[in-house]
């Protein structure tokens, strides 16, 4: 099938193959739904991490067949929670310093402005300020250049898109990648938002 939409059914696959894929998706969905309230059952985040870890091991062993299987597992499990977590993976990125700022909203990310010889009416001393100012958080940085100050941009669902790309069934992977570490980094803002700890997720050891 030449269509690039991975969500469409590939009519060229055998009936058995299609049944297996749909069964995997259904089982993954059910685990995701009941994994939260039932103690002892692996949670969806744990299963996503496990799939990513196995993908790394598969590539290291040169096992592309198992890699495809584990990639499909990760794809199915992430789709269970994607709609609930994607918005918390957005970032405010600076194209000059190549750093991610601490801003957690688009409003604050887009509120940076460079001011020269500015005197705030709220400053009792009437001192002039030259530097980068954020009109939402009211933070200021005198050491930041105008170029850097004006280089902040909001990237919606940034880490979520990277996860989707990683689990994309057309992605053959990179042998040097550590997919489990990537997943932990990309989903950390989600865990922070919902107050989920590493103990809640579990470890792979």
d(CA 155, CA 93): 7
Q: Are 17 and 72 in contact (CB under 8 A)?
A: no
Per-residue pLDDT, 114: 97
Question: Residue 65: what are its φ and ψ, rounded to 5°?
Answer: -65, -50
Per-residue pLDDT, 199: 75
d(CA 69, CA 192): 30
One domain, residues 78 and 143: no
One domain, residues 77 and 110: no
Is 143 contained in some domain? Answer: yes
* Host domain of residue 27: 15-88+156-201
Per-residue pLDDT, 99: 96
One domain, residues 56 and 84: yes
What is the average pLDDT score of the chain?
81
Which tokens belong to 108?
């604050």
Where does the pLDDT of residue 166 fall: very low under 50, low under 70, confident under 90, or very high at 90 and above? very high
Contacts of 45 (CB under 8 A, 6+ apart): 81, 187, 191, 196, 201
Per-residue pLDDT, 6: 39
> pTM for the full model?
0.71
Per-residue pLDDT, 39: 44
Q: Is the pLDDT of residue 83 over 70?
A: yes
Calculate Rg over the CA atoms of the chain: 22
Where does the pLDDT of residue 200 fall: very low under 50, low under 70, confident under 90, or very high at 90 and above? confident
d(CA 67, CA 54): 7
Is 182 contained in some domain? Answer: yes
One domain, residues 76 and 31: yes
One domain, residues 139 and 110: yes
One domain, residues 77 and 114: no
Contacts of 138 (CB under 8 A, 6+ apart): none
Contacts of 133 (CB under 8 A, 6+ apart): 112, 113, 114, 115, 118, 139, 140
First to last CA, the chain: 39
Pairwise pLDDT comparison (136 vs 24), residue with the higher score = 136
Pairwise pLDDT comparison (203 vs 199), residue with the higher score = 199
Number of domains observed in the structure of the chain: 2
CA-nearest of 89, 91, 96, 94 to 106 is 91
One domain, residues 136 and 190: no
């Amino acid at each position: 099938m030449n269509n690039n939409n991975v969500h469409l059914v590939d009519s060229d696959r055998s009936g058995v193959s299609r049944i297996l894929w749909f069964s995997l998706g259904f089982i993954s969905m059910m685990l995701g739904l009941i994994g939260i309230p039932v103690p002892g059952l692996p949670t969806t985040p744990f299963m996503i991490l496990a799939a990513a870890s196995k993908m790394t091991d598969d590539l290291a062993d040169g096992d592309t067949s198992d890699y495809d299987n584990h990639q499909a597992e990760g794809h199915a499990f992430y789709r269970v929670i994607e709609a609930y977590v994607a918005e918390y993976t957005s970032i405010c990125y600076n194209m000059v310093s190549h750093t991610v700022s601490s801003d957690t909203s688009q409003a604050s990310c887009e509120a940076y402005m460079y001011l020269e010889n500015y005197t705030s009416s709220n400053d009792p001393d009437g001192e002039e300020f030259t530097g980068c100012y954020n009109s939402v958080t009211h933070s200021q940085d005198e050491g930041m250049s105008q170029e850097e100050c004006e280089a902040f941009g909001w990237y919606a669902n940034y880490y979520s898109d990277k996860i989707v790309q990683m689990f994309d069934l057309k992605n053959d992977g990179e042998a040097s990648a550590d997919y489990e570490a990537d997943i932990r980094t990309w989903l950390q803002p989600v865990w922070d938002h919902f107050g989920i700890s590493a103990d809640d997720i579990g470890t792979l050891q």
